[in-house]
Amino acid sequence: MTATTHAFDVDKQNFEAEVLQASMSTPILVDFWATWCEPCRTLGPLLEKLAAEYNGAFRLGKVDVDTQQELAAMFGIRSIPTVMLVKDGQPFDGFTGALPEGQLREFLARHVQPLEAPPTDADADDDDAVPETPEQAINRVQQAIAAEPDRPELNLDLAMALMRAGRTSAAAAELAALPANLATDVRAVRLRHQLDLARALENAPPLDELQQRILADGNDWAARDLLGVRLLLEGDAAAGLDQFLTIMQHARDWNDGQAKKRLLAAFATLDDAELVGRCRRRMASLLF
């Protein structure tokens, strides 16, 4: 593809500057494609047209998965075309498959707003509202499903509410029952990563025991891995990510590259854009 003002090719050399760092100020829509992929040939021109139409509200980055296999692996790309919106240094939303122009416009409208609407009185009232508890959210979504049983996206909402309530088995069951078109939804992917991290701690030693193991042997990668997961899920995300980065730095291929997989899973679950962006850049420096 020929680079334009609003679209460019992404490779290992410009990924950090043109995607991660640039997304701190301007959203980057990353299109994972290949020359042999017919749906990609349909989607690509539409994305380029919209990038030009939006005139700088977002930029379009094109990743050829055949020539940039490491970047595709870094984002866990399994089918193409896959499109991810990167904001504040991390994937924010995305989709798989060649959507028609109308749905592309709907997707962009949810995230790319050239001007932010001023707050309304209703917004001020919402700020004073009491936050909904996880159990209240579960009840609300269950009532919505009973009223509209033909809306499978509500089952994804239920799975997420169950996860927030700590009901991992029920959340996993709802996730497994989703139709194929929702299984690759960014929220479903995020929930899947959360469940995988939670399962990693089943029968795991407590925090202090893991810390003692590492004090006794700094190369106890299994202990570091579990400590990282425990810290991540118990609220100290920065310390947890540091454990995975330490493993990557000294034993990158340990357990089939598990530290990298943990980092990618963590990035998909965290809302701290600054932390994710910083750690993603550190991971990229270790990889490339």
| Helix axes 153-164 and 186-200, enclosed angle (nearest 10) | 30
Q: How far apart are CA 99 and CA 111, in angstroms?
A: 16
Note the pLDDT of residue 115: 33
Taking the CB of residue 148, how many other CB atoms lie within 10 A of it? Answer: 10
**Residue-by-residue DSSP string for 99-134:** --HHHHHHHHHHH--SSPPPP-HHHHHHHTSPPPPH
pLDDT tens for the chain, 288 residues long, are: 445 678 999 998 999 899 988 988 889 999 999 999 999 999 999 999 888 888 888 999 999 999 999 989 888 888 899 999 998 888 888 888 888 887 888 788 878 764 333 445 555 555 555 677 888 889 998 998 999 888 888 888 899 889 888 888 999 999 999 888 777 777 788 888 889 999 999 889 999 999 999 999 999 999 999 999 999 988 899 999 999 999 999 999 999 999 999 998 898 888 777 888 889 889 988 887
Q: What is the pLDDT of residue 214?
A: 95
Q: Which amino acid is at 188?
A: A
Length of the chain: 288
8 A C-beta contact, residue 4 and residue 272: no
Question: Which is catalytic among the residues 28, 37, 74, 210?
Answer: 37
- The residues, ordered by sequence, that sit 6+ positions from 74 with a Cβ below 8 Å of its Cβ are 264, 284, 287
Distance, in Å, from the CA atom of 153 to the CA atom of 151, rounded to the nearest integer, reads 5
- Helix (H), strand (E) at residue 60: strand 59-64
The residue annotated as part of the active site, out of 7, 19, 20, 40, is 40
Backbone angles phi, psi at 106, to 5 degrees: -65, -45
For the chain, give the longest Cα–Cα distance. 59
Distance CA 133, CA 140 (A): 11
Closest CA to 174 of 191, 150, 194, 149: 191
What pLDDT shows up at residue 130? 67
Angle at 93 (CA atoms; ends 90, 97), nearest 5 degrees: 125
Token digits of residue 225: 């891995």
Please give the DSSP secondary-structure letter assigned to residue 20. Answer: I
Query: Where do the domains of the chain lie, and which CATH numbers do they carry?
Result: 7-111 (3.40.30.10), 129-198 (1.25.40), 207-287 (1.25.40)
Question: Catalytic site residue 279?
Answer: no
